[in-house]
Amino acid sequence: MRTQVGIIGAGPAGLLLGHLLHLEGIDSVIIESRSRQYIEERVRAGVLEQGTVELMTEMGVGDRLHREGLCHEGVQFSFNHQRRRVDFKQSCGRTITVYAQHEVVKDLVAARISTGRPLVFDAEGVSIEGIDSTRPTINFTHNGPDRIIECDFVAACDGYHGVGRPAMPESILRIHERAYPFAWLGILAAAPPANHELIYANHDAGFALLSMRTPEISRLYIQVGTEEEIENWSDDRIWEQLHLRLASDGFKLTEGKVLQKGITPMRSFVAEPMQYGRLFLAGDAAHIVPPTGAKGLNLAAADVKILARGLSRFYKSGRQDLLDRYSAVALRHIWKAQRFSWWMTQMLHRFEDDNTFDRLRQLAELDYFTSSPAAMASLAEQYTGLPVLMD
């Protein structure tokens, strides 16, 4: 099989890249190690920055997003038994949209299939060779036979545990990471959201977040220890902690049947450079952010927007200057998102070694940025999405 760009991974990054290339008339093959059902049902993030919504709209894959997505003009913070609101629209003129990642994936898979370009599920034994040549290959098996894709370029959009990053020489790869001393226990509940906007809660018992997926489905989180086992958390215990941590100004949480629950560790991770030879990393293959800042999917979209622009210039003019700058341009945007996600995380969570100074500092910080117009504008600008600076 011969193509111009071989894409490993059919998550948001790989599917967005494939469609952007299709719109530019650039051929690609996407391979995915999981089944279509798995990737379309896998529960992940649900907050889209305005820039991501605009990108999907421009790509022609935003119809269902605009019909079913929940547009939010602000976000709320609960602390000291009170709630305060940051108005995005007033502060920076922008919004966010709540639309689950697996719904984004469904839309992009359908769009990919409609183009007739190859999308292979259940690929096994994936490996990459020749990334320092002009003809790299992706090797895999599918339904028995060995397959080889000959490419001009390889885009590894295959997540943290994928084969893309390990294919780069260890001598050039630099890893920057921070593991946080807590995790998020998240539930999906058949309960109408108790608030029309997200609520981030800083409580003596730990962090909590009220979010949603639809007008009938709530997504809720609480901070737990890194060694916690989900078996130790009954539904009643989870609801008890959510009621405790989200309580403020007479707020009443809506309960419902717990549909899913799980525990996710918290970490920050960046690998650089994001390119070597004809191999490019995008999305979780190159970076992970704690979900407090709602940046994961949005960073993947920013990566592929930058990469697609470089590939388009290469195939139109033969110029490789934008491709050569891909890593530098993407990392400039990524580190701003990492800083924001870290800031939100350290301000809202309880740390094991916190003392009274740390606790009172957190509360003062929350008090400041929810009462200062300048601070609220800064938060709104970052939460709704900083522009991707291409040069």
* CATH number for the domain harbouring residue 117: 3.50.50.60
User: How far is Cα 264 from Cα 162, in angstroms, rounded to an integer?
Assistant: 18
CA distances from 2 to 27, 113, 118, 157, 276 (A): 9, 19, 11, 19, 21
Does this model's pTM top 0.85? My answer is yes
Q: Is residue 222 part of a domain?
A: no
Instruction: Kindly state whether residue 164 falls inside one of the protein's structural domains.
Output: yes
Active site residues: 72, 200, 291, 295, 383
Which amino acid belongs to residue 50?
Q
Whether 321 is covered by a domain: the verdict is yes
> Does residue 294 fall inside a structural domain?
yes
Q: What's the confidence (pLDDT) of residue 43?
A: 79
- For residue 34, what are the domain limits? 5-72+95-176+267-350
Measured CA to CA, the distance from residue 377 to residue 383 in angstroms comes to 10
SS (H, E, C) the chain: CECCEEEECCCHHHHHHHHHHHHCCCCEEEECCCCHHHHHHCCCCCEEEHHHHHHHHHCCCCHHHHHHCEEECEEEEEECCEEEEEEHHHHHCCCEEECCHHHHHHHHHHHHHHHCCCEECCCEEEEEECCCCCCCEEEEECCCCEEEEECCEEEECCCCCCCCHHHCCCCCCEEEEEEEEEEEEEEEEECCCCCCCCEEECCCCCCEEEEECCCCCEEEEEEECCCCCHHHCCHHHHHHHHHHHHCCCCCCCCCCEEEEEEEEEEEEEEEECCEECCEEECHHHCEECCHHHCCHHHHHHHHHHHHHHHHHHHHHHCCCHHHHCHHHHHHHHHHHHHHHHHHHHHHHCCCCCCCHHHHHHHHHHHHHHCCCHHHHHHHHHHHHCCCCCCC
Confidence (pLDDT) at 44: 79
- What backbone torsions phi and psi does residue 9 show, to the nearest 5 degrees? 110, 125
Mark the ranges of the chain whose per-residue pLDDT is less than 70. none
Q: Does residue 317 belong to any structural domain of this protein?
A: yes
Residue 293 belongs to a domain: yes
Q: Residue 250 has what pLDDT? A: 84
Q: Is residue 204 assigned to a domain?
A: no
Report if residue 224 sits inside a domain: no
Domain count, the chain: 1
pLDDT for the residue numbered 384: 98
